[in-house]
């Protein structure tokens, strides 16, 4: 579990705590211990419903990234991609939006927030401005998972303080660029398997981003 100083959590940007009826996406791909964010998903404009990208039924030929997240150049000076050294852990932040504390789902009327994974190719883009490396839903699976399957619920995050947790508080987790990874720009995909209805073929939410590994 990722721990930040409680005073830092109180000063995190308000965007992390806005209540929304949409589902979740990554608000930060490199959260600093100070509470500042040093990396974002592609095309990020803020904590708005437009950041949501849903896939139903695990369609193999569906675009893996939303229209606003299909280019590895979709960043601004205000919302840059993450930069790091290989071997370093990077902290992600997202809001649970009630899926950890408030959902009433079958079969028992309780939340079932599911799990998420990161995916990548392990190879940098050959040239700046190249197209994305992972294009379709079929392009991700156990063979290119970065790290392990992670619980969406970090054990402490909460939309508010009405369900026995000290909210509002974002969910935090981390990923690591493996030691020895060569310098370059890498596409990474965060895929949350929510699957709230066991009778359907699957419900997933995806955020696409890039990380620059420095020499």
Architecture, CATH, for domain 6-12+23-213: Distorted Sandwich (2.70)
Which pLDDT score is estimated for 101?
66
Pairing state of beta strands 82-84 and 203-213?
A: parallel
Listed residue (39, 147, 134) closest to 93, CA to CA? 39
Question: Is residue 194 scored above 60 in pLDDT?
Answer: yes
* Rounded Cα–Cα distance for residues 173 and 95 (Å): 12
Q: What is the pLDDT of residues 16-39, one digit of tens each?
A: 333 334 478 999 999 999 999 999
Q: What is the pLDDT of residues 132-175, one digit of tens each?
A: 899 999 999 999 999 999 998 888 888 888 877 887 888 899 99
Both structure tokens of 151: 């619980």
Average pLDDT, the chain: 85
14: confidence class by pLDDT, cuts 50, 70, 90:
very low
DSSP 71-103: -TT---SSSPPEEE-TT-EEEEEE--TTTTTT-
Question: Is residue 105 scored above 90 in pLDDT?
Answer: no
């Amino acid at each position: 579990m990722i721990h930040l100083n409680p005073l830092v959590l109180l000063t995190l940007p308000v965007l992390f705590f806005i209540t929304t009826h949409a589902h979740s996406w990554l608000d930060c791909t490199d959260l600093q211990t100070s509470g500042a964010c040093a990396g974002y998903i592609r095309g990020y404009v803020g904590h708005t419903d437009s950041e949501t990208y849903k896939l139903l039924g695990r369609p193999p030929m569906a675009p893996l990234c939303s229209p606003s997240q299909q280019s590895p150049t979709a960043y601004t000076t205000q919302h840059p991609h993450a930069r790091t050294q290989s071997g370093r852990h990077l902290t992600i932040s997202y809001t649970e939006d009630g899926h950890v504390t408030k959902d009433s789902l079958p079969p028992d009327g309780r939340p079932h927030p599911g799990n998420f994974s990161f995916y990548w190719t392990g190879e940098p883009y050959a040239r700046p401005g190249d197209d994305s490396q992972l294009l379709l839903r079929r392009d991700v699976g156990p063979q290119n998972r970065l790290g392990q399957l992670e619980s969406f619920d970090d054990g402490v995050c909460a939309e508010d303080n009405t369900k026995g947790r000290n909210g509002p508080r974002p969910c935090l987790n981390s990923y690591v660029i493996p030691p020895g990874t060569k310098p370059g720009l890498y596409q990474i995909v965060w895929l949350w398997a929510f699957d709230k209805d066991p009778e359907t073929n699957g419900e997933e939410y995806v955020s696409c981003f890039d990380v620059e590994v420095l020499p």
